Chains A and B, each alone.
Chain A
Amino acid sequence: MTIGADLKQCLATIKSIEAGLSSLAINTNAEDEQRLYHEQMMVIEEIKQDLMKRIGEVEREEEQYKGF
């Protein structure tokens, strides 16, 4: 697989982690646990932003990696 595809796969996994944490934060009824999941969701969100930026760069540099 090309690095472009690898990066996109990783991004998809990151998104699924974010969604998983978000659903845990909603479903749990212990307040401090809720806060913890939410905080970690924010961290994952930051990682997601960085990764998306990087994917944009790669796509600009290497035309053939464009699209899904």
Chain B
Amino acid sequence: MPEWIHIIYRGVLFLILLFLMTKLLGKKQISQLSFFEYISGITIGSIAAEVIMGLDNNIWHGIIGVAIFAVIPFFVEILSLHNKKIRDVVEGKGTVLIKDGKLLEDNLKKEKYTTDEILQLLRGKDVFQVNEVEYAVLEADGKLSVLLKKDNRPLTRKDIDLPSINEKEPHTIIMDGEMIDDKLASAGKNRAWLKQELDKQNVTIENVFLGQVDSSGQLTLDLYDDKIQVPKPQEKPLLLANMKKCQADLELFALATDSEKAKRLYAANARKLQESMDVLSPHLKG
């Protein structure tokens, strides 16, 4: 048999072997979170390459080598799931590098990080000044996690006392011109609803590349033909605009009328509408 056939045969065999092994070890192996996954990743790759190209090597020796690096990490993972001590040794612990806005030089030295390197890692987190950081940990996988001081963190709804909004995830219900029934069901909609919405926007389902429905039941479409303008969902902004208009009208009526009783009635209702608008506008603006 010519050598190139051997290479094809070994290549395909190891491709399947590595594929099965990665499936066995799971997503964790791909993310290479810990020391063990890092070395087993490198070693398995080298063994496979060595056996595929170096035809002098026995193929079974290669398979045994790869299997060792798959099976031992697999069992160590199971052990470390149950025991914190094993976990600390095998997966490693994070090292605190910045505390209270101050660099901990001893820990830096222990991890052999230079000032330039730690600054580089911080810049990767969009931090250019060390004193903006309250706390930073060098994780076991070598990435830096940064907690900014409260003053430097982005503003959230909670900071400015806005009412909390509990938004549910959007569902993708049309892909490549086909509706996805189980997604449609988990969005709490049915085919009739979808047909009605599509008719409203004047498109057929074959022309839709992607369609998503958000938690308030609004459908957003992306068509194959980008020249066609799809109207954005207008229901909510329109509702808010109508409320504003009505509120202004009621205030106008209150000013215009001569009857004291009617004036009070208009003013009270204008106030009610204003309150209702205040409650609703965070939801309607979104």
Interface residues of A (CB under 8 A from B): 3, 6-7, 9-10, 13-14, 16-17, 20-21, 23-24, 26-30, 32-33, 36-37, 40, 43-44, 46-47, 50-51, 54, 57
- The CA of A33 and the CA of B262, in the complex, are separated in Å by 34
* Known A-B contacts A10-B250, A29-B215; A50 and B269 likewise in contact (beta carbons under 8 Å): yes
CB neighbours (8 Å) of B238 from chain A are 20
In this complex, the member of B165, B187, B239 whose beta carbon has the largest number of chain A beta carbons within 10 angstroms is B239
Contacts of B235 in A (CB 8 A): 20, 23-24
Which single member of A20, A23, A43, A46 contacts B242 (CB below 8 Å)? A20
Whether A24 touches B239, Cβ cut-off 8 Å, given contacts A29-B215, A40-B280, is yes
Contact call B168/A36, Cβ cutoff below 8 A = no
Query: Any chain A CB within 8 A of the CB of B265?
Result: yes
Chain B, range 257-276, C-beta contacts under 8 Å to A: 257, 262, 265-266, 268-269, 272-273, 275-276
A-B contacts, CB under 8 A, total: 81
Q: Which of B49-73 contact A (CB under 8 A)?
A: none
Contact between A13 and B245 (Cβ–Cβ < 8 Å)?
A: yes
A contacts with B: majority SS = helix
Interchain CA distance A34-B161 in the complex, whole Å: 22
List chain B residues, Cβ under 8 A from A46.
272
Q: Is the CB of B249 within 8 A of A10?
A: yes
Question: Which residues on the B side are within 8 Å of A21 (C-beta)?
Answer: 239
Contacts of B166 in A (CB 8 A): 30, 32-33
Instruction: For B269, list chain A residues within 8 Å (CB).
Output: 47, 50-51
Q: Indicate which residue in B168, B243, B257, B280 contacts A29 across the interface (CB closer than 8 Å).
A: B168
Contact with A along B185-211 (1 / 0, CB 8 A): 001100000000000000000000000
Q: What would 18 more interface pairs be, CB under 8 Å, given A13-B242, A28-B215?
A: A6-B249, A6-B253, A10-B246, A10-B250, A24-B216, A27-B218, A28-B217, A33-B166, A33-B216, A37-B283, A40-B280, A43-B273, A44-B276, A50-B265, A50-B269, A51-B269, A54-B265, A54-B266
Contacts of B3 in A (CB 8 A): none
